[in-house]
Each structure stands twice: as C-alpha cells, then as structure tokens.
Amino acid sequence: MIIVMRKGHSVDELTGVVKFLETLGLRAHISEGEEKTIIGAVGDERLIERDKLLDLNGVETAIPILKPYKLASREFKPESTIIGLNGTKIGNGRVVVMAGPCAVESYDQVLETAISAKQAGAKVLRGGAFKPRSSPYSFQGLGRAGLEILARVRDQVGLPIVTECLSQDDVAIVSEHADIIQIGARNMQNFAMLEKVGKQPRPVLLKRGMMSTVEELLMSAEYILANGNYNVILCERGIRTFDTMTRNTSDIAAVPLLKSLTHLPVIVDPSHATGDRKLVPPLSLAAIAAGADGLIVEIHPTPDTAMCDGHQSLNLPQFSALMDQVRAIAQVVGKTL
C-alpha cells in the first residue's frame, strides 16, 4: 500500500500516519519527491483498512501496490533514484563507468589500472579481493590484503571502489574498506546476506543471478530496501541459456524493462555477459543505447597473464578506445560521461 500525502502537509501529519501504520505492525518507508510525499506501508496489507487511512490528517489517497516488489517499484517512487558517491552521481542521466581488474593481484597492478582508468574517464574502480571460483583450486583472491590495496589506491588516485562480498560474515570488513558493496550473481538470493547489507549504509551493487528472472532480481533488491538501504544499483550481467558460444547470454532487453519497472539505477556488465574481450565493446555500446546508467568492465594491464578472467578483460589502451566510443553513443541518446 502507498499513502500519498497532500501537498503542504505538516510534519505532525506525516508523523501521525507513520505511527498509525506502526501500531498495525507495518513498516513505513517514506519517499519525498518534488511534488508528492509517499509512504510505503510494508507488511500484511490485510491489516490496513483504506477508509481509516483516508480519514487521517494530511492523507490525500491510498493505493494498493499490486507488484510483489513494493519499495523497488516506480509506483512507490516515480522519480529515478540518484546515488551520490564521493562527487559521482549514479542514475542522474550520466553514464558512469566502473572499471578495473577481475582480481586484485598486487598493489602495482591495481595502481597502474586505476590511473589509466581514471584518465580514460572511469568514475569507479572495481576489483575483486574475494573471488568466487567454480574450482576450489583456482585463485581465490587476496582477501583482506586485497581490500587494503584497493583502499590505498583509492586514496592515491581518487576513485571510489566497488568490490564483492562473498559471505555475510564479511559484510562489516568489506563495508569498512569499500565505497560500494557488490553482491554477485551466486549470492543474489542469499537473503540473509541481503538483509545484512540492507542494514549498513554503503550503496549495494546487486548482480542478477545467472538463472534468475527480472522479477526475482527486483525481489532481491526489495530485501535490501526493506531493511533500510535505499542505495541499490541493479546489474544485468548475462543469464545462462542453451547457447555455448558465449559465457552467458546478455539480456539487453532487461535494461529498458527494468528502467520502466523500477526507480533504481541499472548498469550492465559486458565482461561476464560475454566472456570474450572482443565482444565487450559492442555489448557496452548496446547497453548505453538501451538506456543503461553505466557499465562495469574488467580491464587489466596485461590480460594474458591475469590470474582471473584475463580472456574477458580489456587491456588499458583497449579500454581507453572503448571510452571514446561510449562517449559518442552516450551523446546520441542524450547522455554524457
């Protein structure tokens, strides 16, 4: 249920509605737009009598939200959510590119990558300190040492960092070092972890599961929002299909679909979607043309020697060339970097 407050309502009237909902055992989530203030009532809607809501001072109307994802829907918040990040804004009509190595291997590797990425126009540095690998014998990342390298490079280069959290036990330490906490495809429906990142203040980048529907992605985002963290970025990273020519199948149609269904920013990961560096540039351009708010791209100084996913990583000159193309496509669709 969403409760729309009258224009010019008082603070006391808003507080009164919130307290009324709380007496019913419901949680009140407030969205203040330019024109309207909306309260999302989350919980068992059978407890709500619409007529009683309409009798409350300051209430204009009350409308049931039919979609199962309440707080993530555009019904609850028609205006697009804009996430502020150390001077960078995600979701405000600009294209934000996140770039960096799949895995943190050394300080020198991350520093060289970060400097080049920033010069090319990237606004966020990505890098994996903890790596989820299909094989237990593959490189699993540097762990805490990797987080410390990322934080040190951030302080030197000035790019905020996004890195993946693999376990709910690591949420606190990742939050301590990272500017954005990434929840990977394998953890998209790890609801205990979603609840935990929902209770901490860092923005969350939520990747779509490789066999998950768009609605399931939005329901996972709902877990984070319902726990109080409204700074969620959705990431389309390809889904698993019958095709074996690419690592995954990029669902490019999910971008405009998500933009119509939710107020949350939507970015695309062309590296994991294709698994082939030759396909990363064209998919990146397609994502921007489809309306994505940004990209997260894997790059490496020497991809052929990378300890993780080198085959899908661009080298630094290739990334710089891609950014020139991204600028051109962004301009065509009325955006800038």
Q: Is the pTM of this model over 0.85?
A: yes
- The answer to whether 283 and 315 are in contact (CB under 8 A) is no
> Domain end: 14, 30, 63, which one?
63
- 89 and 179 share one domain: yes
How many whole angstroms from its chain centre is CA 20?
33
- 88 and 57 share one domain: no
Judged by average pLDDT, the poorest of 82-86, 160-164, 179-183 is: 82-86
Q: What is the average pLDDT across 51-65?
A: 91
Q: Looking at the domain assignment, is residue 26 inside a domain?
A: yes
- 201 and 275 share one domain: yes
Q: Looking at the domain assignment, is residue 71 inside a domain?
A: no
pLDDT of residue 272: 95
- The answer to whether 164 and 132 are in contact (CB under 8 A) is yes
| Per-residue pLDDT tens digits for 269-282 | 999 999 999 999 99
| Tokens (6 digits) for 82 | 């804009």
Helix (H, G, I), strand (E, B) or coil at 232: strand
Report the CATH number that the domain containing residue 163 is assigned in CATH.
3.20.20.70
Q: What is the average pLDDT across 226-254?
A: 95
pLDDT of residue 96: 98
Q: Looking at the domain assignment, is residue 89 inside a domain?
A: yes
Q: Mean of the per-residue pLDDT values for the chain?
A: 94
Q: Looking at the domain assignment, is residue 75 inside a domain?
A: no
| Per-residue pLDDT tens digits for 138-156 | 777 789 999 999 999 999 9
List the beta strands (DSSP E) in the chain.
Answer: 2-5, 27-32, 37-42, 59-63, 83-85, 88-90, 96-100, 124-126, 161-164, 180-183, 204-207, 232-236, 266-268, 294-298
> Would you give the DSSP letter of residue 55?
T
d(CA 335, CA 274): 25
More confident of the two residues 94 and 64? 94
Task: Work out whether the CA dihedral 255, 256, 261, 264 comes out positive or negative.
Answer: positive
- 298 and 197 share one domain: yes
Q: Looking at the domain assignment, is residue 68 inside a domain?
A: no
Report the CATH number that the domain containing residue 37 is assigned in CATH.
3.30.70.1140
- 26 and 96 share one domain: no
Which is nearest to 86 in space by CA: 55, 118, 60, 53? 118
Residue 137 pLDDT grade (very low, low, confident, very high; cuts 50, 70, 90)? low
pLDDT of residue 298: 98
Q: Looking at the domain assignment, is residue 274 inside a domain?
A: yes
pLDDT of residue 220: 98
Domain tally, the chain: 2
Helix 107-120, helix 316-332: angle, nearest 10: 30
Q: What is the average pLDDT across 100-110?
A: 96
For the chain, the residue count is 337
Q: What is the average pLDDT across 122-131?
A: 93
> Domain end: 63, 91, 109, which one?
63
| Per-residue pLDDT tens digits for 183-211 | 999 999 999 999 999 999 999 999 999 99
- 173 and 298 share one domain: yes
d(CA 302, CA 315): 6
- 149 and 257 share one domain: yes
Judged by average pLDDT, the poorest of 70-79, 128-137, 192-201, 218-227 is: 128-137
Which is nearest to 181 in space by CA: 121, 237, 251, 229? 229
Q: Looking at the domain assignment, is residue 164 inside a domain?
A: yes
Residue 133 pLDDT grade (very low, low, confident, very high; cuts 50, 70, 90)? low
The domain of 291 spans 83-332
- 157 and 290 share one domain: yes
- 57 and 153 share one domain: no
Residue 324 scores a pLDDT above 90:
yes
- 56 and 105 share one domain: no
Which is nearest to 230 in space by CA: 87, 40, 94, 62? 40
Q: What is the average pLDDT across 41-47?
A: 82
- 265 and 314 share one domain: yes
